[in-house]
Amino acid sequence: MRTALLVTTAMAAFWLVEPAHAADEAAAAEGASGPEEGISEIIVTAQRRVESAQKAAIAIDAVKGDDLIQRGIGNASDLTKTVPALSVPAAGGNTASIFIRGVGNITTSSYNDPAVTPSYDGVVLGRGAGVFGAAFYDLARVEVLKGPQGILYGRNATGGAVNIIPARPEIGRNGMGFNLGYGNYDAVDVDAHVNLATSATTALRVSAAHASRDGYNKDGTDDLKRDSLRAQFLIEPSSDFSLRIGADYTKLGGYGVGGNYVGGFIPGATYTFFPSGLDVSEGFNSAASNAFRKQNLGAPAFAFLSAMNRSQKLDTTYWGVNAELTWKTGLGTLTVIPAYRESTDHTFFYGPAFNTANTNEKVKQTSLEARLAGKAGMFDYVVGGFYFGEKIKANNQYNQEFVLPIVAYGHKTDSYAAFGQLTAHLGERVRLVGGARYTHDKKSIDGLINNFITFCGGPPPFLLTPPASFGAGCATPGNMPYYPNFLNTGDTIGWLKSNGWIAPTSSDQPGYQVFPLVNGVGAILKTYNPVVDTKSFSRVTWKASAEFDLSPTSLLYATAESGYRAGGLQMTESKTTYKPEFITAYTVGSKNRFLNNRLQVNVEAFWWKYRDQQITYFTVDTSGTLISSNENAGRATIKGADIDILAKPFSGTTLNGKVQYLDAVYNDLHLFTAAPRDNFGCPFTFTGATAGGAPVKDFNCSGNPLLFSPKWTVNLGAEQVVPLGSKLELVANVNTAWRDTQWGAFEYLDFERIPAYWTTDAALTLRQPDGQWSLTGYIRNIENKRRNLAPQASPLGVAVGHYSAPQTYGLRLSATF
């Protein structure tokens, strides 16, 4: 009620005060033509030069900042509403996974490098989350580049790149603007900016945003609480020199991403699924969810588990400083981009049917890019160098009831690259492009894994011949401890002593330890697994392309290029390294404008060869301990086509349609694990090896589709502008998207198949034609269906889902002065 009153008061105040003057910023910055002149241009910098998206001979989707607001795109996940090739599943914690055409990785740890490289204001982000997910305010545009970007982009862009570009300060202009929105779930979404001409050659732009809403789930999760601030200062003493300095800060709070128990199955036996019967908005920590969880470890009424021991809590900050120096010299334009970023995360979250996990991490990133772009006769050139350094310090625990893994590590990355690209103009209509990049990555890790493992029925199995049954006696209430969320072994042993589980004389000693349970049921094993390693990876990536102007408004291009993502190190007991991944991509495309700039038709066909993809799934190590392991798949082939049509058939009418056909299949995919973590929907053979006494199985999943690669994706939209006299107009928008059936996890179990679905949004806006103000009513997800877009098979035998937003609606007031 209080929030609603504030919004209503702000609206009333606006109607009493007439704005000072109209803003023409968007048209100037984006090169937009007026509504009577046909389709407007979107200016992009994806190829490290300023050009129209229609003149860029690359596969790119670009969305202007004003269009992001109109479409209700306020985070990275919402970009899927306008980019058919993109998927951004959110599966818990403070991580983000990004997929383009099936190329990507399910991010579970802070040291997983993203396969689709996110960038903010020209700065490559080492992590897939961070400011990338929180920077969607006061933007100039967002650019999504599809396919490997092995030459001009920072690192690891095997699947593509997503560039978030904030609006820049403007010399000689004083102005401000805001967007104020309120909707159901008590959703408040506010952002504002001010641009000040501080002198004849300098300008300051300050932006701020606040977004909050109640949770979509009954336990309060899937909520939002975010505050952001950005400042930029531009110095431009002449047309040959400019220096822009920026800083940003974001704070995330609330509960965070939630989920729901879809059902369960019996690990280690023939896959038999039983539904939970829970509503999709139940959440993991409601009374009904805890009742289901406590009775379903591997089978109904096998009561190992407890209720969640606490609520989730998201407590994360991101901040950074960056600069961009541009200097036009006799050799060309020199651009230098130094940056420093830091994130701190203290988050409690629910894993895939685990109890509460606790992450405490600090990530520091330093980067420097320098490039020189110029002309020499018939040639355009870009040469440059890049450095990326990152330090991660983490102390995490992942509470699995009878197993408490405590992980502490330091991870360091140093990456160096040199690159160059040459464009030869063979006449006015033909261009040939060639480029190469050498990248060297060095990674090191120094950490320790301690597991507290409860064994009922006797001492740990490796101390007995034959081994004791793990489950004997544990199902009896009160026979086993349920661990709290400790981050070190000393506190854990202290808790076990003070609660009478182990002898009061027990103490924490280095190495492996066995603590008999006082009740005589079994024992607790404390493992000790140091992980110390250093690896280096190097690769030359390349690009060759040809461009031909069929006419002044039609472009034909063909490209062959390669991509590379460095291998890595991980905190597991048996497999601490994984190899680099590689991709080679072939693309043919055409971009066209017809009918006096009223019809745009862009088409693209692609064929990618993917090798050694880095994948993540739950398995067991040699001792039988559960791990989330990064490994390399074999080979995959990705092929398909895109068609993108934009039309303005009548004055005030805009129609758009995007269709993608995608055939993405693993030619060679083998997954390895042992009972009881061996429920995979693929045929298997025995390898002859054992893990924790159980035989290891080789699951042959070759022939299955890549994750998040729907065969057909369709995006459709329509806008109609209706004049209401000379001072007002009404704008109606409808946008809908359809995604074909796709897979969301590597077990390929039935519940991990995401069924095909439609999602439709609509908006009605009353505004002044010159853009001074607008009032919009919107409704999103008209179908009011929550889709399980990030399914997970818990190794505890529970099927888990993470769902899209329900139907939301509200009002938004926007103005510029």
CATH code, domain with 388? 2.40.170.20
Q: Is residue 469 part of a domain?
A: no
Which of 9-23, 351-365, 438-452, 704-718 has the lowest average pLDDT? Answer: 9-23
Cβ-proximal residues to 494 (8 Å cutoff; 6+ apart), any chain = none
Rounded to an integer, the average pLDDT of 747-751 is 92
Q: Is residue 491 part of a domain?
A: no
What average pLDDT does the chain have?
A: 87
CA angle 384, 329, 58 (to 5 degrees): 45
How is 789-812 classified by DSSP, letter by letter?
A: -S-EE-TTSEEEE-B----EEEEE
CA 327 to CA 241: how far, in whole Å?
5
CA 653 to CA 499: how far, in whole Å?
71
Q: Is residue 735 part of a domain?
A: yes
How is 638-702 classified by DSSP, letter by letter?
A: EEEEEEEEEE--STTEEEEEEEEEEEEEESS-EEEEETTS---SS-EEEEEEEETTEEEEEEE-T
CA atoms within 13 A on the CB side of 643: 8
Q: Is residue 593 part of a domain?
A: yes
Contact 643, 658 (CB under 8 A): yes
Which range marks the domain in which residue 671 is found?
2-449+530-570+585-816
Reported as a single tens digit per residue, the pLDDT across 110-154 is: 788 888 888 899 998 887 656 666 788 999 999 999 989 888 876
43: β partners: 52
Q: Is residue 770 part of a domain?
A: yes
- State both tokens at 71: 């479409």
Reported as a single tens digit per residue, the pLDDT across 583-626 is: 999 999 999 999 999 999 999 999 999 999 999 888 877 766 67
Q: Is residue 492 part of a domain?
A: no
**CB neighbours of residue 289 within 10 Å:** 24
Query: What are φ and ψ of residue 39, in 5° steps?
Result: -75, 130
Question: If pLDDT is split at 50, 70 and 90, which confidence band does 92 have?
Answer: low
- State both tokens at 659: 């269709």
CA 692 to CA 620: how far, in whole Å?
8
**Strand positions, DSSP E, 22-59:** 43-44, 51-52
CA atoms within 13 A on the CB side of 370: 5
What per-residue confidence (pLDDT) applies to 503? 95
Please count the structural domains in the chain.
1
Q: Would strands 160-166 and 116-120 be described as parallel, antiparallel, or unpaired?
A: parallel
Reported as a single tens digit per residue, the pLDDT across 325-337 is: 999 999 999 999 9
Reported as a single tens digit per residue, the pLDDT across 786-796 is: 999 999 887 77
Q: Is residue 79 part of a domain?
A: yes
337: β partners: 369
Question: If pLDDT is split at 50, 70 and 90, which confidence band does 411 have?
Answer: very high
- Going by C-alpha positions, the residue among 546, 585, 538 that lies closest to residue 563 is 585
Task: Please provide the distance, in angstroms rounded to a whole number, between the alpha carbons at the two ends of the chain.
Answer: 29
- State both tokens at 279: 């509503």
Cα–Cα distance list, 703 to 115, 615, 793 (Å): 22, 16, 21
Rounded to an integer, the average pLDDT of 247-258 is 94
What per-residue confidence (pLDDT) applies to 47? 83
Q: Is residue 513 part of a domain?
A: no
